[in-house]
């Protein structure tokens, strides 16, 4: 799932707008860097429950790391895309507020681009229930790098709802989890004239427009691309994968899965997939 709204149940409201644009969502949304997935779930194989898995963008990275992943997604259209890409991954059409797993059965619960849709008062106790002692909740959002002028212009067209001041705030105050660590990882998505339209369609504020308004918005996005883009070569859209993790608090809690690391500055973090360069901070024009 994706985009931003006041926290609601993942099974209702604008969060369910993505099913109608499931294929565009899958084509247009970026994946997640391997380093971010390692930080979220660890480098040693473990049992991972992914909640609000969407079309499986992060799921695929977690599986490639060797984790035993069970994916849940309440939107059947998004879940069908995930199953098509990852037929061997166990899946459930369930929401975060009602997880179909036994107590203390997983090492990590992860939510990518979806935690803000949850009813936190119901979902956080449920997530704590399925975590083993020492297990953790891990959250990630891909956010565009708005320091760059053309990225700010694109955000003005399609929305910047993913930019939150304190996305993990509900975890901090819930009482079900300990100290919340954070880290950020730079990465880049190549977008072309077609995929930038898919990216726009994958935003809830665009997906919920009527047909005429949606076509008008896509025309604006195409005009923007034609002005700023590189034709067949596309554009590199810069992202930060903002990551958070916290260990469950239980009476029988054991040792955390990994030693805590200090938080990293999102704009100075040096971990990347090897493609970041200061040249890309320069406006295309």
End-to-end alpha carbon distance in the chain: 33
Residue 232: band (very low, low, confident or very high) from pLDDT cuts 50, 70, 90: low
pLDDT for the residue numbered 266: 43
Predicted local distance difference test score (pLDDT) of residue 1:
46
Q: How far apart are CA 114 and CA 118, in angstroms?
A: 7
Is residue 285 pLDDT above 90, yes or no? Answer: no
The C-alpha angle 15, 21, 22, rounded to 5 degrees, equals: 85
Percentage of the chain beyond pLDDT 70 is 78
* Mean local confidence (pLDDT), 196-203: 88
Inform me whether the pLDDT recorded for 118 exceeds 90: yes
Pick the CATH number of 13-250+264-281 from 3.90.1150.10, 3.40.50.150, 1.10.10.10, 3.40.50.880: 3.40.50.150
Q: Mean pLDDT, to the nearest integer, of 72-81?
A: 95
Specify the pTM. 0.80
Tell me: pLDDT of 41 over 90: yes
Tokens 């599986």 — which residue?
A: 63
Structure tokens at 188: 């880049």
Give me the residue spans of the domains in the chain. Answer: 13-250+264-281
Q: What is the pLDDT of residue 18?
A: 55
Is residue 259 pLDDT above 50, yes or no?
no
**Residues 87-107: pLDDT tens digits?**
999 999 999 999 999 999 999
User: Residue 81 has which token pair?
Assistant: 């895309």
Q: Which residues contact 32 (CB under 8 A, 6 or more apart)?
A: 57, 58, 61, 112, 140, 142, 187, 241
Averaged pLDDT for residues 11-19: 48
> How confident is the model over 130-166, as pLDDT tens digits?
999 999 999 999 999 988 888 989 988 887 666 667 8
């Amino acid at each position: 799932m994706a985009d931003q709204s006041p926290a609601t149940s993942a099974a209702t409201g604008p969060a369910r707008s993505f099913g109608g644009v499931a294929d565009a969502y899958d084509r247009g949304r970026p994946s997640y860097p391997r380093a971010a997935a390692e930080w979220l779930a660890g480098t040693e194989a473990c049992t991972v429950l992914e909640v609000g898995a969407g079309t499986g963008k992060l799921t695929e990275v977690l599986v490639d790391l060797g984790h035993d992943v069970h994916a849940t997604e309440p939107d059947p259209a998004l879940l069908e895309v995930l199953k098509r890409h990852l037929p061997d991954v166990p899946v459930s059409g369930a929401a975060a507020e009602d997880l179909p797993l036994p107590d203390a059965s997983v090492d990590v619960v992860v939510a990518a681009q979806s935690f803000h849709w949850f009813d936190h008062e119901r979902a956080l106790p449920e997530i704590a229930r399925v975590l083993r002692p020492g297990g953790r909740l891990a959250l990630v959002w891909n956010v565009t790098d708005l320091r760059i002028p053309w990225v700010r212009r694109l955000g003005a067209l399609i929305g910047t709802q993913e930019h939150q001041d304190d996305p993990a705030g509900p975890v901090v105050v819930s009482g079900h989890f300990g100290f919340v660590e954070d880290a950020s990882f730079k990465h880049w998505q190549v977008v072309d004239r077609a995929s930038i339209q898919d990216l726009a369609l994958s935003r809830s504020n665009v997906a919920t427009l009527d047909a005429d308004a949606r076509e008008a918005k896509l025309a604006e996005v195409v005009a923007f691309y034609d002005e700023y883009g590189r034709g067949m070569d596309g554009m590199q859209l810069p992202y930060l994968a903002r990551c958070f993790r916290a260990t469950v608090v239980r009476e029988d809690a054991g040792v955390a899965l990994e030693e805590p690391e200090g938080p990293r500055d999102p704009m100075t973090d040096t971990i990347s997939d090897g493609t970041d360069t200061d040249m890309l901070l320069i406006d295309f024009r």
